[in-house]
Amino acid sequence: MRILITGASGLLGRAFVRQFEGDYELYATGFSRCVPPVQRLDLRRQDEVVALVETFQPQLIIHAAAERRPDICENDRDATDALNVSAVTFLAAAAREAGAVLVCLSTDYVFDGTSPPYAVDAKPNPLNYYGESKRAGEIAALESGAEVCVLRVPILYGPVKSLDESAVTIIARFLEQNEETAVDHWAVRYPTHVDDVAVAVRGVADLLEQGERLPEILHFSGNEAYTKFEMANIIAEACGLSSVHLRADSTPAEGAPRPSNCHLDDSLLAKLAPVQKRVFREEIGGLVKPFLK
């Protein structure tokens, strides 16, 4: 199977490369920080997208590139739309012409967080522009005429190149403060390891090779519910650091509105391609220790 991966220089994209490299004919693309085997591709340019797909003729496209920072999305909607909506439209059209399956990564932020857990057929109601743009991308893909599977995932962590690459690992920065620091204890999140997501998508690829047709929407999520304050305390314990200066903040965070709890029900994917999920407490210390003073 020939597989095209977008966003392959990012946290999630690198996990896909690790999972598929060597076993499949792979073409990995990114926009910045591109080192072999990742090749540069500007997804905002339809001509570049079309030319690559026509040349490589992938059978599976895994679209992991996105603008994922809610506050950036809120303040720069045109740039957000270019990557989260237009790029999806270009890829879906190219996938349709090539007869490729498009697995399009999306987010739990398409939900408002008021009625968890969310099944794959739950009605989206995003609270911020990040969620709105990702939902618009989902619709563009699903209405393109291509064979599409939207895969929604929550907050991600894994082997980072810097702590700020993940909204989970950056929490460790709170432990470097020398004064009382308020940490969000309002929103409940489900930290999910990128390598687990990659294993799930590998299972999806295996189904395709067996001639199975994928559901239009799937969910994948870690099972452990934590606020950022709780994650900070787990990180402190794992790294042997003090967290006495951290204060639980039980009010919604400033900036783009966030949902309080948009837990994804991933029981459908678990039946199709079961994954033994990593335990947050066992993984996080080794990931952040190299970056802490």
Choose among 279, 263, 224, 226: nearest CA to 248.
Answer: 226
Q: Count CB-CB contacts under 10 A for residue 36.
A: 6
Q: What is the pLDDT of residues 100-140, one digit of tens each?
A: 999 999 999 999 999 999 999 999 999 999 999 999 999 99
What pLDDT, on a 0 to 100 scale, did the predictor assign at position 230? 98
Six-digit token pair at 143? 């209405």
| pLDDT at site 88 | 98
The whole-number pLDDT of residue 78 equals 96
Domains defined for the chain, CATH in brackets: 2-161+192-225+262-278 (3.40.50.720)
Residue 206: the pLDDT is 95
Using CB atoms within 10 A of its CB, is residue 48 exposed (0-12), middle (13-18) or buried (19+)?
middle
Q: What is the pLDDT of residue 253?
A: 86
DSSP character string of 71-124 = HHHHH-HHHHHIIIIIHHHHHHHHHHHHT-EEEEEEEGGGS-SSSPSBPTTSPP
Which residues in 196-209 are b (16+ Cβ under 10 Å) and which e? bbbbbbbbbbeebe
pLDDT for the residue numbered 293? 75
Whole-number pLDDT of residue 241:
94
Beta strands in the chain (DSSP E): 2-6, 25-30, 38-40, 60-63, 101-107, 147-153, 156-157, 181-184, 192-193, 217-219, 246-249
Neighbouring-strand partners of residue 61: 4, 102
Residue numbers in the chain where pLDDT is lower than 70:
none
* SS3 call for 204: helix
Catalytic site residues?
Answer: 130
Residues, the chain, total? Answer: 293
Angstrom distance (rounded) from CA 66 to CA 52: 19
